[in-house]
Amino acid sequence: MGVRIFLKSELTKISLLVKAGSKTESIEILGNHTLRIKVRAQAKDNEANDRVIELFSEALRIPKSQIQILKGMHSKMKMIGIQGITIEEILVRFK
């Protein structure tokens, strides 16, 4: 599974693969702009989705309000939108 990254106006869109219920939490680049995120939270009552946003907010040092899940609320494949940061800045922070 790959990740597609798009730039549209000021919103950076990133597709990612989420593993809920993981023993550890991490965000990693798998190659070719592919991101995988592992969260401890379970995929119920939006717990994992909320933790994905929190983890990205902490890692990128931006407010949670600048991050939103655009697609995949009930799927492990998600598209998130991030405002105020470029794809280059995102990739540097996750290396």
Domains within the chain, CATH numbers bracketed: 5-93 (3.30.1200.10)
Q: What is the CA radius of gyration of the chain?
A: 12
Burial class (CB in 10 A: 0-12, 13-18, 19+), 83: middle
Condensed to tens digits (0 to 9), the pLDDT of residues 40-91 reads 999 999 999 999 999 999 999 999 999 999 999 999 999 999 998 888 888 8
Residue 34 pLDDT grade (very low, low, confident, very high; cuts 50, 70, 90) = low
Coil, strand or helix at 92? helix
Contacts of 26 (CB under 8 A, 6+ apart): 37, 38
DSSP character at residue 59: H
